[in-house]
Amino acid sequence: MAAPPNARIACVAALLALLPARPGVEPRRPAARSAAADTPPAAAVGCDSTLAARFTPPAPVLGRYEVCPDPRPPAELAAGLVFVALDPLDAFGTAGPYHRSALARLYAGRRARVAHTWTATAERFEADTLISPYPTAALDRLEPGTLVIRWLCDRSDARCARAAPRRPLALTRTAR
């Protein structure tokens, strides 16, 4: 079974944090967010525990999940992020207990626009998956806004403190 996209992001970020920094190489930082993106999605609508129960693991091994629908379109919510078109089953992964064939029927051959981003602070590591359009919890219609699936790992949890990166990550390698 493949790891869900959010878990893959967290694992890659944790592994990259272990790489030694090279002298004279400035690490790349995540893309700057727009002023609209600085307003958390929870402020727009609120996080939805029903969507979280449907699309995230029932008992994450590490960290916790929030699922927050936002009525804003992806371009307004996450300026500067690159969205890719994915099959909905790939976009939502395999970790949640949602009905896969119902989700596929709902999208009816349409692809979801998906972007991934992360933020590391002294207090926590956050990995976000943004999906648009997104299904309702009942899987009966697609909403035009953006669904933000956020994995949070607080550094106050000793396991997260060891796993999450503590410094900006160098996401590209340079020739030696």
- Of 5-9, 37-41, 156-160, 168-172, where does the model show the most confidence? 156-160
Q: Report how far residue 40's alpha carbon sits from residue 169's, in angstroms, rounded to the nearest whole number.
A: 23
Q: Evaluate the CA torsion angle 109, 75, 95, 137 in order and state its sign.
A: negative
Q: What is the pLDDT of residues 33-47, one digit of tens each?
A: 444 444 444 444 589
Distance (Å, whole) CA 85 – CA 140: 21
Q: Which two tokens stand for residue 17?
A: 């944090």
pLDDT of residue 160: 80
Residue 113 pLDDT grade (very low, low, confident, very high; cuts 50, 70, 90): very high
Total domains in the chain come to: 1
Model confidence, pTM = 0.69
User: Would you say residue 30 lies in a domain?
Assistant: no
Domain of 79 in residue numbering reads as 5-16+57-163
Mean pLDDT (whole number) for 93-97 = 91
**Does some domain include residue 22?**
no
Q: Does residue 104 lie in a domain region?
A: yes
In a domain, 150, yes or no: yes
Question: Model confidence at 150, in pLDDT bands (50, 70, 90)?
Answer: very high
What are the backbone dihedrals phi and psi of residue 120, each rounded to the nearest 5 degrees, phi first? -120, 125
User: Is 24 contained in some domain?
Assistant: no
In a domain, 41, yes or no: no
